[in-house]
Amino acid sequence: MADENPAAMKPLAYLRLLRPHQWVKNGFVFLGLLFGHAWNDPEKLALAISAFAAFCLLSSAVYAMNDIIDREEDRRHPAKARRPLASGAIGVAEAAALMLLCAAGGLWLAIGHAGSAPWIFFAYPALNIGYSLGLKHVVILDVFIIAAGFMLRILAGTLGIGIAPSQWLLLCGLMLTLFLGFAKRRAELNALAGEGGSHRRVLEHYTHALLDQMIVVAASCTVVSYSLYTVSEETVALHGTADLIYTVPFVLYGMFRYLFLLHRRGGGGDPALELMRDPHLLAALAGWLATTLWLLPARGL
């Protein structure tokens, strides 16, 4: 078999460094449009799309920064050793240049085209710099910082584009992202089989039993808070329907499926990848979104 041409593989290595499959997480930006009855507002839609694009660029810059900082640790990890920097496919200088280019593009979009709260977009890389430089080693706080990144996305798609952020939306978003964060740590413990501390220092402080308790609490709070949201008087008055309760089964199925993948299929470490490769999760998300869109327009969205 002929050797692969290194020059031809460079663009693929750059793309892998940016991790575009992770951009699905930036979809949290659009929740404000959906639940704020603004999907048909061209101006707000344009702002939300710009905010989404800005977060895509900024998140890719953060991934590149993390890979630069963690490249030595990644080389000792069974899966992360294949990342472009850890494997030597690209150099530190190239990765740093791409990181700065993405960061500059994302902040340019944020300042001029993504709404009236550019501070949200500056807070995101600042939060991640703190995480990468030491906060990722602080047990429990590490997961809350991951969740905070998702909350900034929600704020960019609500407060940033002139939609008042619902307290219910913020609560549900926080609980869901904490669930995903603790599930990620559980998956890392599973994958590293007792050697977690040598690859990620904070894993020394987690145990399977502790993480299972945290996951149960976060999952329960997610389901309960979302269920209460669908039947609250405020929700019924805002959307003109009490039928959002029928979207709860999709949320339950998605949560249970994710737990199944975590405990029985060795998954849970990367929510974006799990969503794209598991048809059950995709079906649950599609069913929830389709049902929500069907119910809301029927009441004059």
Helix (H, G, I), strand (E, B) or coil at 117: coil
pLDDT (0 to 100) of residue 215: 96
169 in Cβ contact with 31 (< 8 Å): yes
Instruction: Determine, yes or no, domain membership for 53.
Output: yes
Q: Are residues 114 and 192 in the same domain?
A: no
Name which of 218, 115, 142 is nearest 173 in CA terms: 218
- Please indicate, yes or no, whether residues 106 and 235 belong to a single structural domain of this protein: no
At 73 the pLDDT is 77
Instruction: Give the model confidence (pLDDT) of 128-164 as tens digits.
Output: 999 988 898 999 999 999 999 999 999 999 998 988 8
Tokens 């979207």 identify what position? Answer: 247
Tell me how far apart the alpha carbons of residues 22 and 267 are, in angstroms, rounded to a whole number: 16
As a dihedral over the C-alpha atoms of residue 123, residue 126, residue 128, residue 130, rounded to 10 degrees, the angle is -130
Q: Which two structure tokens, joined as six digits, stand for 175?
A: 């609980």
Entry pTM: 0.87
Closest of 142, 118, 138, 134 to residue 58, by C-alpha:
118
R_g of the chain computed on alpha carbons: 20
- The confidence score (pLDDT) of residue 297 equals 66
At 298 the pLDDT is 47
Asked whether residue 189 falls in the same domain as residue 71, the answer is: no
Q: Do 63 and 40 sit in the same domain of this protein?
A: yes
| pLDDT recorded at residue 300 | 43
Same domain as 183, residue 111: no
Of 165, 194, 226, the last residue of a domain is: 165
State the pLDDT at residue 36: 82
**pLDDT under 70 in the chain at which residues?**
1-8, 193-199, 297-301
